[in-house]
Each structure stands twice: as structure tokens, then as C-alpha cells.
Amino acid sequence: MPDDRISLRQLLTLTFAALLSPAIQVLPGLTARRAGVGGWLATLAALPVLLGLCWVLCRLFRSGLPETAVETLGPAAGRGLCLLYLVWGVWLLAANTRQVALRFLTISYRNSPMLLFLLALLGVTFWLVRKPVRALARAGEVFFLTLTVGLVLSLGLGAFQVDLVNLLPVWVEDLSAIGWATLPVLGLLGYVVFAACLGGNVVPEQEGGRRVLRWAAGLCLTLTALQTVCLGNFGPGLAGRMDTPFFMMVKGIGFEGTFQRIESVIIALWVLSDLALLSLLACACSQLARTAFALKERRHAVLPVVLAAAAGAIWLFPDAFALDRALEGPVLWGGIGMGLGIPLLLALVKVCTGKK
Amino acid sequence: MPSNRENGQTHPHPRREPRYPGPITLARLEEIFRDCVDFVRRTVWVGEDPRRALTLCYLSGMVKMERISDYLLRPMAQDPELARCAGAAPMMERMRQGALYNLAVEERDSLDQVVFDLVGGWCVFLFPGESTVLSCFVGTEEKRSVSAPDSETVLKGAKDAFVESVRTNTSIVRRHLKAPELRIQEQIVGRQSATLVDILYIEGITNPHLVEQVAARLREIDIDGVFSTGAIEEYIVPAARTPFPLVQYTQRSDRFCAGLAQGRVGVLIDGIPLGYLAPAVLGNFLQAPQDKSSSWLLATALTILRYFCMFTTLLLPALYTAMVTFHQEMIPTRLALSIIAAKQNVPFRSAFEVIVLLIAFEILQEAGLRLPQSIGQTVSIIGGLVVGSAAVEAKIVSPAVLIVVAVAGIAGYTMPSQELGGALRIWRFVLVLLSSWAGLFGTVMGAAVLIVHLAGIESFGVPYLTPFAVGTGVHSREHVLLRRPMPRIKDRPGALKPRNRRKQR
Amino acid sequence: MKKTVLVLLLLMLLLTGCRRYAGILPYAREIEDMELIRTLGVDGAEGAGVAITASGDRAQEETQVVSGQAGTISAAVLELQGEGSSYLYFGHVTQLLLGEELARRGVMPSLNYVLRDVEMRLETALYLVRGGTAGQAIEKAAADGSATDRLEALADDAGLTANSMPRTVKDVLAELDRQGASFVPAVLADGGLTAAGYGILKDGALVGWAEGDAALGVNLIFGKVDADVVEVQAPDGAKAALRVVGAAASVGPVWDGDRLTGLKVHCEVDANLAEGSAMPDEATLSALEEELARVEAERMEAALALSRTLDADYLGLRASAAFRTPWRKTALLGSFSMAGLKLEASARAVIQRSYHADG
């Protein structure tokens, strides 16, 4: 769409803001459970994979994932791939919406407001994604700015309470465990492929590739800092038992007598990250739907996607335990497969057909 | 007012085209201006010859008597060449080409033009037997003298503010911007008011698409008359969709010219002593004109303070409501205990208290606008006493709520733009309502909705959130939070897409 | 568009009224309808039940002490709610007292309650009540003032009492996970809630007390000495008072091949001369320093002896040793046992200055 151009920087900030939402669910809980004190190195270990993935996505999906799939695999197989990603995306959207709505219940004893949170989030997502993509990108930038301030504040104050005994020593014998702990991080990175679906809207830039790689490094460093502070505060055993170690850490920071116990503000701030994630997923799904069903405009596909996600969020997961199991199992492996495996395969196919 | 056809002036488009059809005759003019006591007509003998009698028509009050006498009647009476003319046509030609000492003498052939000339301060000479007439500009120059702006305080800078006359305003602008590339296009807006609206821009710097956009929107306006600023403001921007201001106005000429030099388009309206600048985005409304006159460190600190005040006025009442009703752990323990003690016998719920006090604040503000100076002070004392002390002592409201609402209100007054302050006041209410239903989740959802709303607005193609969310291919940021020293700002703001990016060495 | 907005606003206005039980909106509570609980006490009751005692702050009208009893802590807390005159809010609880009997049974249920509960937080300070129940302690303290104030004063002045340091639930939980044992400051169940050393936890249950010299030793090993006056005999017979102002301890492992046989704890003690001879000479100073080092080493030995006898690594010695020698990590962190190890303590004291105006 000629008048719906966004810049690479906007897409990257939107993705960063969106990734912060699942990041605090996965890190450092899952990594601590698998690797103990070495868990915080898992994100650093995942850095080469992320760099490779970003390089592939940058080269491959200049015009967006749906168009590239159709180009490389032909119309039938390409549309089929888009459909596959669409189903995966809607399922992820449903799971994440429910997870986010449940998260806000952690400060309340009752369960009934969950429906309200769910519908409110999906309502705002629907409104945002119906606007042109550049509005989503601008909103994403503002969300990113706000989240950065919150994150820097929390991590900065939390760093004062880090106990090094919880983080070290890490020695050679931990390396295999760290490798095993990298898997949740890779599952998390599986969301990046949805940003590639918006690649068609991005104005091509000269230094684009380098900028993406710098962004990937920044993301890894931020996630490592997050893990370090959370693990350092609690230690691997305790962190593994908590639902969201980051929010538990925020519960404890503050200056006595000036401000303390501000975890409600940080939890509320994370709603912006959730909105960024949900709108990124919804926007990518509507792009995929447009290609898969050959619709004229992206806007027509938004309502069905959001309704499907709402239905899935309300009925697919009967309780929080099923949701947790889903997030730690299928989402993780699906993320690795769909987010890393298939783009690599697509790249291979493109290279092969290109050589012919 | 001299009309210059080369500047693209268009005559007003009446419902019937032309508005007054028919030939130009005295009877017709008398019929059009019947029941107008200021319509005057007299006969003039050229060269004191009764065979050369012309009819002079004018509207008294619109013309300057001395001009007619000195520049028109005197040569007509005293010029021997005129008296010797062989007929009406050569006499008209002679008079048009310089026999009359007046600066502007035009020949008119349509009744429409003659009628509007008369209203505009021209006087008309009807020649016997001729279908065309001569029209001379002799209008009065009654207007306010150029003085200091009264709604914007100028501590350090030029004090020549705009006045009601658009030609004087353009002359003030020309005095600040002496570049010959300054272009001034004129349009007429309003069927009954026929107001002159000028579009100013600097050719070679301003994006021509922007100029065309502004001009097109002005051309589309077909209203009765321009009697308030809203008549132009609400038409050139989609004001129905948002309470946030999308054009910036100013009374100060130096600020107006600085905006033109940045690559923005200016609009001057006859009868309104304000200059409009388009496009205008959020960053523009949070910069005070004093910033460029104070030291850059001070300006930076004050800008940061202004942003902080913007967040305070928007979020403080909502945060208080959320904290006191849903998230009581956030309040420091001692403060929580004192709030509990203070609220022991207050009958109302916190959310209701906050909303009532916000409304009371708005009432006080509105009342203060209507009252003359002398009674205004009494009202503020009564307001302070009644709302403040008595209500607190009678335990109708608690002191904490009063402080919160007062701080939020005062923070709102630091906004350099009244319109932005007004929009923030509306959103403040919305956020308090949301927070009373759903606590901090409601507040943040409200803030998210506000951000999404702002992200979707554009002012003439420039995103409204421009300093924070720039569009494609734009890198340099000027004076967002940090006002860099002026020698370091080398480029014009990229978001305006100016033709010439570099503005200093 | 305008109609939808109006309908929404109307709906919102209506919902504000019928919010309490109509459910879809989050539950709001006015702050003046709350009583803020500051101190919580948990005791064992008959069978496997628990008895909870809660008290507010002195700043509130009167310090109300409420108690309830049930099979689990959540049920007991709900019973408490019924007793108070307004809603009891636990979001500001800063101290948790555990009775001795309950601690011997096991502290994990209480600590897990703090971890999981919506209103409680991990930064709550934890205390063990020695020689009584937490309920008795709170009630007695409420008689003249409130338990909260006493305990807050205790925590604030912790540096000035060298045999007690404040510990939070987070610290204890993390240590129990990491090394299987931990220690918690103890208070007596008299009206003044005096500090009484530490209680040692192993595998989530109370197994012993560290008092007197052992408690001082614990503080030394953790470097939490802010002000402790040690009286020593100077060589010329006069008594000198040395104020210990800092301590830094390090743990080193002792190996026999690949097997860990012992741990050496060495402490660098920083002291000032508070009372004594005005201008001490070299010999006096070094004699005083040696004497101080001996006293401190004895204290640390007492603390280490407890660790060995109770077979509980409550001081985190293995983890500290692994921190310094990470290449032997598996051997050091493989087990929690301390019974078979030889634990030695040594100290070195340095007297920096004296407090005389002319010194």
C-alpha cells in the first residue's frame, strides 16, 4: 500500500515492545528451572541464533512474509503456508489474550473481571488494527518509550538488591543445562516472524540489515539484564516456583519513605506491551488472511481474526493450568518450528529455486 | 483596498451567479441600497460645466471625506484638460489614466463588482450614457494600532502583535521577513462577510503540496460569514474527530515568522488579530515562545517540567482514585493511615468526591471568565473559602482529594496552549471514570486509547505525535525535551518535508 | 459513532452503582473501610491447625489484636476477617512472627502462604518467637504500644545490636532452596519483644537456637557489625573497650585430593579504640588486636560448631566457598551435609583509630 509506509525503526520498536510481554512470562522462570544458576546465560547463548534469524528474515522477507511465500512456493502452496501461519497466529493471539487477562487477576482474589479485561484488550486491539498500519507503528513507538522508562526504572532499582551468590558460580558443567535452557528463549523469539509479515509496509533503507542486527543484540542484552536482575534477587529455586518473577521483584523495590510497592503501576504499564503484542499478532494475521483468502483490503480481515481470537480465548482454555501447560509446551515448540524452522526452510527453497 | 488581479484574487461566488444581474444604473444602485441611510449620491459638474455632470455614489462611514475632496473632486473641478474633453468616453479614459490624483482608479463593468466596491470603501462615478463606471478607492484606515499582545506575555522579544486589518498584518510580517520569496495568496471566504483570508509561505522552503492542501481546504469553505475563529479553524482541519488542536495560532508576529521560516504555512484572516500556522503537532503545543529567548539549560528544564505537568494533569486524579479504591498497598503506610483518619466521616465515595471536585473546579474557572475584574476577586475568595475550608471542615470532602484536584488543575494551566489544556481536561474526566471502574487497569487502558487516538491523527499529513513517533525517513529532532543550543540545530524539522533542509552553517 | 459513545458512557455510569456484587468489574474497596494490619503471628493449634493473630499500628485508634484458628492459614485469615470491625487489609504487613511450636513442625506452609497470597509480600520481616507463642507475644506487646512499633524499632536499630539482623521471607526462602538451611532472628515473648539470637532452620523446620556468642559469630560471618563493644584486657591490666565497626569474612575450602574435608572461615575485623589508654604504643595496640581477634574467632567458632552439630549449612559456607573456587563447584555444592567437615575460624583485627579528641 503506497500510503501505508512505516519505517524499519518503527517496526523494530513495535516488535521490541511486543516481545516484552511474553518475555516476562518465560524468563527467568523456565530458564531457571532448566539451568539453575546458569539460566541467565541462556539469552546470551541464544544471541547467535537470533542474529541468524534476523539476517534471514531481513534478506528473505523484504516484501513481507505472505507475498514472499506466494512468490517462492507458488500460489497454492504459498496460500497454504499463509493459512498455516494464520491459524497459528490466531491460536497464539487467543492464548496470549487469556494469559494477559489472567495476569491482571493476580492482584485480585476474585475471577470474574477476567472477561472484562479480555474483551477490553481485544476491543482496543481491534480498533487499533483497523486503522492504517502507520497508526499502529506510531502507537508502538510511544508504547516502547513508556515501557523503556518503566523497565529501566525497575531493573535499575532491582539491581541494588541482587545477591551474586544467586547468579554465580557458573562453570563448564552447566553448559549443557544452559543449552537446554535456550529452548524457551528460542520459543520466545518465534514471535519475531510475525513482525516479518509486516515487512511489505517497510520503506527500504540502506543500512537496514545492520540496524536489524543491532536491534537483535540490544534485545538479547535487555533480556539478559532482565534475567540477571530477577535471578539475582531470588535465586533459581525460588524463581522457578513463581508465576512471574519480574513482577515479584518489582514488588520489592522502592525507596523507603518516598515511593515503594509500585508493582501495580508496573503491572499496569505492561498492559501497553500486551497491547503491542496483540495488535502485532492481529495485524500480521490480517495480512496473512488477506493473502490466503485473496481479500481486497486488509481491514476486512480484522474483525474475523479478532472474533476468532476472542472465542478461542474464552473457550479453548478451561483454566489457568491448561493455559500454562499450553504455553510451556505447544507454544514453545511451535514457536521454534514456525518461527525459526519454516523461515529457514523457505530461505533454502528460495536459494535453491534461485540457483536454478 | 487595491485589488491586484495577479495575486489570484477571486470574487465571491453568490448563490446566484451573478448576485446582482443587470446593467449598472443609478436606479439599480438605489434599489440595491434602499433603506441604507449611509448610501449617498450627488452630482458633480466636471470643470463646472453643467453639460458634464457625473453622479458620485459612496457609502458614508466607509470613505474618507478628505480623500474624495482632495484627490477626486479638486482635479475634476480644476483640471482644464478634463473640462475640454469631447465626450464621456475620452473623459473617463483621461480620468482613469491619471487626471484624478487617486492611487487606485478602476473601470468596472459588472454590477456585482460595483456593489462590493461600494461596500469596500470605494466611490463610484457614473457617466451619462456609458455602461461602465469608474471606481476609486478612498476607504478609511480606522483600525487598532499595533501594540503588545494581550493574551501572550512577551518578556523578551518583539511586541508588535497582529491587529484586525489583514493588510497591516501582512506588512508586519514583511517587516520581519524581508525575503522577496514570501508569497501571499488571497481568498475570499463567507457569503455574507466576504472576509479576506491570506495564505503566506516562503517559496523554495515550504512544501508546495502543503500550500496546495491548505488553499484547497479554504476554497471548499462555503459559509455565511467568518465571525469567530472556529469558522476557519474547524473547516481546514478535521476538528470533529478530536478535541486536540491541529492548527496553532499566535498573536506574536515573531513567532509567526519563525514558523514560516521553518517551512510551515501561515494563514491570516481579516478581522481576527491572530496568525495561524499549519501543520501543528503535539511538540509545537508544548513549546513556549520564551524558550528561544532563555538559556538552553533553563529552556530544557522548563520543557521537562511542562511534560511532567501534562502527565500530572492528565493522570493524577485517576491515579489517586485507583490507589485509594483498588491498590491501597501503593500508598505509603503513614500516608494511608492519615488518609483513613481524614476520611473517617466523609459520606461520599472517593471516586464521587474526585468527580465532584473536578466539576467544581471547572465551574470556578468558567465563572472567572465571565466576571469583570472587580467581582472576580470576590468570587475567588468565596470559592476558596467555600470549597476549600468549609467543605473540608464539614467533612463533605477530604483534604487529600482537594489537594489532588487543585494540583492537577494548576498543572493544567502550565500548558502553553489553551486548546491543548482543554483537551486534557476532557480526557482527565474520562480517565477518572475509567479508573473508578477498573483501577489502574482502567487508567492504563484509557491512556492506551488516548495514545492510539493521537497516533491516528495527522495535521496536514504530519503525524500528531511527531517528536515521539516520527514517520518514514525522518531523523532529526528539534527541541523535544532537550532544547539544544541554537548553533547546533542545523536543519529544519524533517517532518514538514521542506524543500531546503539546511538552515544555517 | 456518537450514539455508541453515549451508550457506553451511560452504561458506565449505571455500572458504578451496582458494582459491589454484580461482578464484572473489579472489586473496589474504600480505604476508610479498611484496617491496616502490620504484624501477623502464626502459631500451631491442636491437630495440624494454625492459629493466627494480627495487629495494627498504634497510629490507628486503638491497636486491635484479632485472632482466629482453622486448619489452614487461608481459612484462619478468613476467620479473622469476621472478628475485626472493618475489612482487614494485609497489604501493609511488615512483620511475620512464627511461634516456636509451629516452627518445629515446619515453616514452609507459612512461607508459601506469604509467597502465594495476593496481598502479602516477600519483603515481610520474619521473626521466630522463643519461649511462647506469637499470639502471646503480640498481645503482650500491644499492652504498651504495639508489636509493630517494637519490631520496627528493632529492625531499625539492628546495626546497634550486634547479635540480631533483620531477615525477610525472601532471604529465608532463597536460602532454604539453595542450601537447605537458614536462620531467622528470634524474639522473646515478653512485652518488650527483646532480641534473642537466631533460630536455625533445617529442611524447613526449627532445629536449634544460636544465642549469645554464636549469634555474635553469625553477625561477624555476615559482616553485619555496625557497633559492637568488646572489652579486652590490655597488657598493663587496664580494661580497654574496643568498638568493632566492620567485619569482612571469607570462606576457603580445605581439600584432601578431590574430597572436601573442611572449611576455613577467616574474618578481617575493623575496630576503633573507644575507651582505654590515651596514647597506646605499638605493643599495646598489637596486644589489643590479638586479644580482639581471639575473642572474635571464638565467637565464630561457636556459630560454626552449631552448623556442624545440627548438620545444617545455615551460614551458606559451601555456596561462599564455591563462589571463590568455581572449578570445584560440583564437589562443594553436591551435598548440604556439614557433619563430617572440620570447620575452623580465624580472625585478624586492626584498630584504626581511637575516639579521643587528641588521638
CATH number for the domain harbouring residue A22: 1.20.1740.10
State residue B6's pLDDT score. Answer: 46
Whole-angstrom Cα distance, residue A59 to residue C149? Answer: 65
pLDDT in tens, A243-260: 889 998 988 887 766 667
Question: Is C213 within 8 Å of C162 (Cβ atoms)?
Answer: no
- In this complex, which chains have at least 3 CB pairs below 8 Å with chain C? A, B
Residue B260 has pLDDT above 60, yes or no: yes
Domain ranges of chain B: 26-137, 166-280, 294-455
CA angle C192/C195/C200 to nearest 5° reads 140
**Contact assignment for A113 to C118 by CB distance below 8 Å:** no
pLDDT tens track, chain C, 359 positions? 677 777 776 666 555 555 455 566 777 888 888 888 888 999 988 777 788 888 876 555 556 788 888 888 888 888 888 877 788 888 888 889 999 999 999 999 999 999 988 888 898 999 999 888 888 888 888 777 777 787 877 777 766 676 788 899 999 999 999 889 999 999 888 767 788 889 999 998 999 999 888 998 999 899 888 778 888 888 777 888 888 888 899 999 888 888 888 899 999 999 888 887 767 788 888 888 898 999 999 999 999 999 999 988 898 889 888 888 888 888 888 888 888 888 999 999 998 888 776 64
Please name the residue of chain A whose CA is at the shortest distance from the CA of residue C316: A165
| Cell numbers standing for residue C8 | 457506553
**Contact assignment for B340 to C32 by CB distance below 8 Å:** yes
**Contact assignment for C31 to B344 by CB distance below 8 Å:** no
Q: Phi and psi of B199, rounded to 5°?
A: -110, 125
State residue C175's pLDDT score. Answer: 92
Whole-angstrom Cα distance, residue B383 to residue B361? Answer: 9
Q: Does residue C260 sit in helix, strand or coil?
A: strand
pTM value is 0.89
**Contact assignment for B326 to C28 by CB distance below 8 Å:** yes
Asked if residue A78 is part of any domain, the answer here is yes
Residue A170: closest CA among C333, C176, C174: C333
What is the total count of domains within chain A? 1
Does any CB of chain A come closer than 8 Å to the CB of residue C355? no
State residue A116's pLDDT score. Answer: 83
**Contact assignment for B448 to A275 by CB distance below 8 Å:** yes
Average pLDDT, stretch B362-389?
Answer: 78
Residue A124 CB: number of other CB atoms within 10 A?
19
DSSP B44-105: EEGGG-TTSEEEEEEEBTTB-HHHIIIIIIHHHHH-HHHHT-SSHHHHHHHIIIIIS--S-E
Please name the residue of chain B whose CA is at the shortest distance from the CA of residue C60: B337
State residue C79's pLDDT score. Answer: 85
Residue C277 CB: number of other CB atoms within 10 A?
16
Asked if residue A211 is part of any domain, the answer here is yes
**Contact assignment for A171 to C123 by CB distance below 8 Å:** no
Looking at CA atoms only, how far is residue B319 from chain C in angstroms?
14
Question: Is C29 within 8 Å of C47 (Cβ atoms)?
Answer: no
Does any CB of chain B come closer than 8 Å to the CB of residue C150? no
State residue B14's pLDDT score. Answer: 55
Q: Does residue A142 or residue B241 have the better pLDDT?
A: A142
State residue B197's pLDDT score. Answer: 93
In terms of average pLDDT, the best of B172-186, B215-229, B351-365 is: B172-186
How many residues are there in chain C? 359
Instruction: Identify any residues that bridge with B196 across adjacent strands, giving them in sequence order.
Output: B188
Does any CB of chain A come closer than 8 Å to the CB of residue B333? no
Instruction: Identify any residues that bridge with C351 across adjacent strands, giving them in sequence order.
Output: C271
State residue B33's pLDDT score. Answer: 92
CA dist list (Å): A166 to A227, A239, B170, B383: 12, 10, 72, 59
Asked if residue A200 is part of any domain, the answer here is yes
| Closest CB to A171 among C26, C170, C329 | C329
pLDDT in tens, B290-313: 888 888 888 889 888 999 999 999
Asked if residue A3 is part of any domain, the answer here is no
Contacts with A241 from chain C: Cβ below 8 Å: 115
State residue B480's pLDDT score. Answer: 58
Asked if the interface predicted TM-score (ipTM) of this complex is over 0.95, the answer is no
Looking at CA atoms only, how far is residue C119 from chain B in angstroms?
8
State residue A209's pLDDT score. Answer: 85
Contacts with A126 from chain B: Cβ below 8 Å: none
Q: What range defines the domain where residue A233 resides? A: 8-352
Does the bond joining B18 to the residue before it have cis omega, within 30 degrees of 0? yes
Whole-angstrom Cα distance, residue A5 to residue A1? Answer: 7
**Interface contacts A/B by beta carbons within 8 Å:** 89
* Strand bridging mode A254-255 / A259-260: antiparallel
| Closest CB to A271 among B330, B445, B474 | B445
What pLDDT band is residue B249 in, cutting at 50, 70 and 90? very high
Looking at CA atoms only, how far is residue A322 from chain C in angstroms?
19
**Contact assignment for B339 to C12 by CB distance below 8 Å:** no
What pLDDT band is residue B177 in, cutting at 50, 70 and 90? very high
Encode A273-285: b = buried (16+ Cβ within 10 Å), e = exposed. bbbbbbbbbbbbb
Percent above pLDDT 70 for chain C: 90
State residue C152's pLDDT score. Answer: 79
Average pLDDT, stretch B383-404?
Answer: 84
State residue C158's pLDDT score. Answer: 67
Average pLDDT, stretch B500-504?
Answer: 74
State residue A147's pLDDT score. Answer: 94
State residue C31's pLDDT score. Answer: 86
State residue B4's pLDDT score. Answer: 45
Residue A12: closest CA among A125, A141, A191: A141
Whole-angstrom Cα distance, residue C215 to residue C221? Answer: 10
Residue B5 has pLDDT above 70, yes or no: no
Topology annotation, domain C214-351: GMP Synthetase; Chain A, domain 3 (3.30.300)
Using the structure block, give the residue that is written with the C-alpha cell 488472511: A289
Does any CB of chain B come closer than 8 Å to the CB of residue C308? no
Please name the residue of chain A whose CA is at the shortest distance from the CA of residue C121: A251
Which residue ranges of chain A lie beneath pLDDT 50?
Answer: 1-3
**Contact assignment for C329 to A261 by CB distance below 8 Å:** no
Using the structure block, give the residue that is written with the C-alpha cell 444604473: B25
State residue B10's pLDDT score. Answer: 62
Contacts with C36 from chain B: Cβ below 8 Å: 333, 336-337, 340
Whole-angstrom Cα distance, residue A90 to residue A112? Answer: 24
Domain ranges of chain C: 18-211, 214-351
State residue A2's pLDDT score. Answer: 42
State residue A17's pLDDT score. Answer: 95
Does any CB of chain B come closer than 8 Å to the CB of residue C119? yes
Side chain identity at A227, as an amino acid letter?
Q
